[in-house]
Amino acid sequence: MILHATSRGDGPVLVLLHGLFGQSGNFGAVQRRLAAGGRRVVALDLRNHGASPHATGMDYATMAEDVHATLGELGLLPCAVLGHSMGGKAAMMLALRHPQAVARLCVADIAPVRYRPQLVTYATAMRDMALSPGLTRAAADAALAPVVADAGERAFLLSNLRLGDAPHWRIGLDEIIAGMDDIQDWPVAEAAAYAGPTLFLAGARSRYVRPEHRPAIAALFPAARFVTLRNAGHWLHADDPEGFLAVVEAFAPV
């Protein structure tokens, strides 16, 4: 699959991969800042997200091949790759399957491990929402509130909703729900380790990257370094944009 891409700037290429329920636009401010520093910054919409096509299959090998095919089509290989959450797993798989394509790898607040189910209820509530003509943002927010308690998370999810005469979800909810087990998982058997420069960037208020994950990370990414942002949770680039940008600018020099 060839994915939708947005590109800014000129210079060494840095590719950004968003997380579950996200889209390339989530990196808008980050993309502008990094591009202004002398980089070509390319943000992709992963399959079933943003403006990219919808299709069955949400395993990380499939997503990695989408990214590889798209970057090859755009003539951007090799390049630096940064992925957040689900996008971080896709970035790790890309580096493991196509190490020659990834000049350096940054993984933002995720580890190569299986996580417990927790987000399928969000996707199901979104899919089951009544999308009648005249639906308002406030009404949609109220419909999600019993399942998604945090107002910020609801706003993030609702960024995928298109209102108007025919309200619809831009995101492929059926495909995501069907693939949720693969999204939360990480395949045990994979190819040789990725030996290139690798940075794992975590939020101090997040529990996604834990000390007990270090052996799994080291086995696959022996050159991995670790940085923790003290003032951030899982949404690093939103919680501490200046700290996030400082680390990424050092990670991907011009």
Domain ranges of the chain: 5-113+186-251, 120-178
Residue 232 pLDDT class (50, 70, 90 cuts): very high
User: Among residues 4, 54, 68, 174, which one is catalytic?
Assistant: 174
Strand order in the sheet with 5-8: 5-8, 40-44, 13-17, 79-84, 102-108, 198-203, 224-229
**From 66, 234, 237, 240, active-site residue:** 234
Query: Rounded CA gap, 167 and 158, in Å?
Result: 12
Q: Is 85 a catalytic residue?
A: yes
Class of domain 5-113+186-251: alpha beta
Three-state secondary structure of 115-166: CCCCCHHHHHHHHHCCCCCCCCHHHHHHHHCCCCCCHHHHHHHHCCEECCCC
CA–CA distance from 142 to each of 20, 122, 133, 248 (Å)? 22, 14, 16, 37
Question: Is 98 among the residues known to form the active site?
Answer: no
Contact status, residue 98 vs residue 72, Cβ threshold 8 Å: no
* Of 155, 133, 135, 134, the residue nearest 144 (C-alpha): 155
How are the residues of the chain apportioned to helix, strand and coil, as percentages rounded to the nearest 5?
A: 40, 15, 45
Distance (Å, whole) CA 32 – CA 36: 6
Q: Is the pLDDT of residue 48 over 70?
A: yes
Of the residues 85, 109, 237, 240, which is catalytic?
Answer: 85
CB atoms under 10 Å from CB of 223, counted, come to 14
Q: What is the tens place of the pLDDT at every residue in 4-15? A: 999 999 999 999
Tell me the per-residue pLDDT of 136-189, one tens digit each, with 9 for 90 and over. 999 999 999 999 999 999 999 999 999 999 999 999 999 999 999 999 999 876
Residue 190: is its pLDDT beyond 80? Answer: no
Q: Is 132 a catalytic residue?
A: no
Predicted confidence at residue 53, as pLDDT, reads 98
Confidence of residue 191 (pLDDT cuts 50, 70, 90): low
